[in-house]
């Protein structure tokens, strides 16, 4: 049962999982993503600390509202998820201060939202979620979204964008330099930074190898 993977908060997960993954066929934001982010949270919080119940709820509900990557409302996705999380947790009888802690962590986790994480839990969640966007998992998710959006893998005339502007709305490979290779600079915890450095190196190695293979 998936909720058991969130132990010792499996009872909470059993209540939240029906709300956790929005009604969408987005394989980049599915149960696997939630489990990977939870694993990242556990690794970071084991060193940095943080309220584990708040973190579990924030992980489970951080993508509970689906907004496609090419939607003009994409920057609002985390705020919409935070508002939905407030309703769900309120229905479970959570006190307002703890609901607020979860909602802030969810709202601040998004790269595109541009919200400064003000609590330890928000910093841990942001780092844990961003770890899933870099490294080899990040490569897989990038090209999954590329196909989902109907974009090309790369520009065959200029794969490395040496003589053109980067355009990740057209070419998946461009997203590495537009966003993915910048993420490691913004990690908020020392543990997250260390994990990010290793995954960033894998991103760079993949990009170098890809460009070598396409000539």
Split at pLDDT 50, 70, 90, the class of 162 is very high
Domain assignment present for 126: no
- On whether both 88 and 145 belong to a single domain, the answer is no
Lowest-pLDDT range, 66-75, 110-119, 127-136, 191-200? 66-75
- Of 74, 89, 115, the last residue of a domain is 115
Q: How far apart are CA 167 and CA 177, in angstroms?
A: 10
Contact (Cβ atoms closer than 8 angstroms) between residue 85 and residue 106: yes
The pLDDT value recorded for residue 2 is 81
- On whether both 47 and 149 belong to a single domain, the answer is no
In the predicted model, is pLDDT for residue 110 greater than 70?
Answer: yes
**Domain membership of residue 95 as a residue range:** 1-115
Domain assignment present for 49: yes
- On whether both 145 and 103 belong to a single domain, the answer is no
Domain assignment present for 121: no
Domain assignment present for 84: yes
Residue 171, beta-bridge partner list? 152
Sequence-ordered list of residues with C-beta below 8 angstroms from that of 133, at least 6 positions apart, any chain: 111, 141, 180, 183
Q: How far apart are CA 192 and CA 178, in angstroms?
A: 21
- Token pair 């057209």 is found at 170
Mean pLDDT of 2-17: 90
Long-range Cβ contact pairs of 7-10 (< 8 A, separation 24 or more): 8/52, 9/52, 9/53, 9/56, 9/57
Split at pLDDT 50, 70, 90, the class of 22 is low
Contact (Cβ atoms closer than 8 angstroms) between residue 142 and residue 153: no
In the predicted model, is pLDDT for residue 111 greater than 70?
Answer: yes
Q: How far apart are CA 173 and CA 167, in angstroms?
A: 9
Average pLDDT value for the chain: 92
The pLDDT value recorded for residue 64 is 87
- On whether both 166 and 104 belong to a single domain, the answer is no
Mean pLDDT of 147-153: 94
Domain assignment present for 124: no
48-75 pLDDT per residue, tens = 999 999 999 999 999 888 776 666 666 7
The pLDDT value recorded for residue 70 is 64
In the predicted model, is pLDDT for residue 106 greater than 70?
Answer: yes
Q: Is 64 exposed, middle or buried (0-12, 13-18, 19+ CB in 10 A)?
A: buried
Q: Which residue has the higher pLDDT, 114 or 178?
A: 178
Mean pLDDT of 97-113: 94
- On whether both 101 and 144 belong to a single domain, the answer is no
The pLDDT value recorded for residue 82 is 95
- Of 88, 115, 142, the last residue of a domain is 115
- On whether both 90 and 159 belong to a single domain, the answer is no
């Amino acid at each position: 049962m998936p909720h058991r993977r969130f132990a010792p908060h499996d009872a909470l997960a059993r209540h939240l999982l029906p709300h956790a993954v929005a009604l969408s066929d987005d394989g980049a934001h599915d149960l696997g993503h939630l489990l990977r982010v939870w694993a990242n949270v556990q690794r970071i919080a084991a060193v940095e600390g943080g309220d584990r119940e708040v973190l579990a709820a924030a992980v489970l509900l951080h993508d509970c509202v689906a907004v496609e990557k090419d939607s003009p409302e994409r920057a609002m996705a985390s705020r919409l998820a935070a508002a939905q999380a407030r309703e769900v947790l309120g229905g479970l009888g959570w006190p307002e201060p703890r609901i607020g802690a979860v909602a802030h962590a969810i709202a601040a986790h998004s790269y595109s939202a541009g919200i400064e994480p003000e609590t330890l839990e928000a910093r841990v969640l942001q780092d844990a979620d961003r770890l899933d966007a870099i490294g080899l998992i990040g490569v897989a998710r990038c090209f999954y979204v590329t196909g989902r959006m109907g974009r090309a893998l790369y520009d065959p005339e200029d794969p490395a964008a040496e003589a053109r502007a980067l355009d990740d709305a057209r070419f998946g490979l461009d997203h590495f330099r537009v966003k993915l290779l910048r993420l490691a600079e913004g990690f908020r915890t020392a543990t997250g930074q260390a994990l990010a450095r290793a995954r960033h190196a894998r991103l760079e190695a993949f990009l170098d190898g890809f460009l070598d293979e396409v000539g």
